[in-house]
Amino acid sequence: MRPAFIFFILFTFCSLASRSQGHDSLFMASAIDKLKNSKDYTLSMADTVPPDQYDFRPTPEAMTLGDQLLHLSANLGWLASAYLSEGENPVSESDKALRDKDSIRVVVARTYDHAISVLQKFDPKSLGDTVEFFAGPMTKMQVINLMSDHQTHHRGQLIVYLRLSGLTPPRYVGW
């Protein structure tokens, strides 16, 4: 092989790898910003609800408004801890039984702070690593996307809860 051809192949490979790593870093920066905005929006929703309405549920089989916030937090903490880091879920079993607004708000804020910290420390080179998930193997990038999707799902439910309670949801904060 000619040296020029070998140089061309190495240069092309290094360029592609560099671009891929740049995209991974861009994805992580975007995911962190999105999670920070999600924290602000979720806490705004939590703050909109009077303390005596945290036990509201639209139907007998539905979660209460407080339970929605705790479930969203427990899932966020679990995904960040079990699949993206080595830490403990910041939502304990006793936290899941909380009923008062102030205590639930503390759990929500603490959990978002934990997940944001996990993403800030996360190595973008690991986005393609596969983890075993109950629904089948997933990449860590898919886990990060799942974190976002799950929050969006439950915040959508919270918007309905607020409307049914006669409350106006806060202005959306996204991306």
CA dihedral 149→151→154→156, nearest 10 degrees, is -70
pLDDT in tens, 145-164: 999 999 999 999 999 999 99
DSSP letter for each residue of 93-115? TTGGG--SHHHHHHHHHHHHHHH
- Per-residue pLDDT, averaged over 163-173, amounts to 94
Residue 154 burial (C-beta neighbours within 10 Å; 0-12, 13-18, 19+): buried
Q: Distance of CA 103 to CAs 79, 149, 172, Å?
A: 22, 25, 24
* CA–CA dist 32, 26 (Å, integer): 10
pLDDT, the chain, mean: 90
pLDDT at position 7 is 46
pTM: 0.87
pLDDT tens sequence across 120-136 = 999 999 999 999 999 99
The mean-pLDDT minimum among 17-21, 28-32, 59-63, 117-121 falls in 17-21
Alpha carbon of 143 to those of 48, 93, 160: distances in Å?
Answer: 29, 22, 26
Q: List the CATH code of the domain at 27-164.
A: 1.20.120.450
- Name the region of 81 (left: φ>0; alpha: ψ -120 to 50; beta: rest): alpha
The whole-number pLDDT of residue 87 equals 87
Structure confidence by residue, pLDDT tens digits, 19-42: 455 779 999 999 999 999 999 999
Contact 63, 78 (CB under 8 A): no
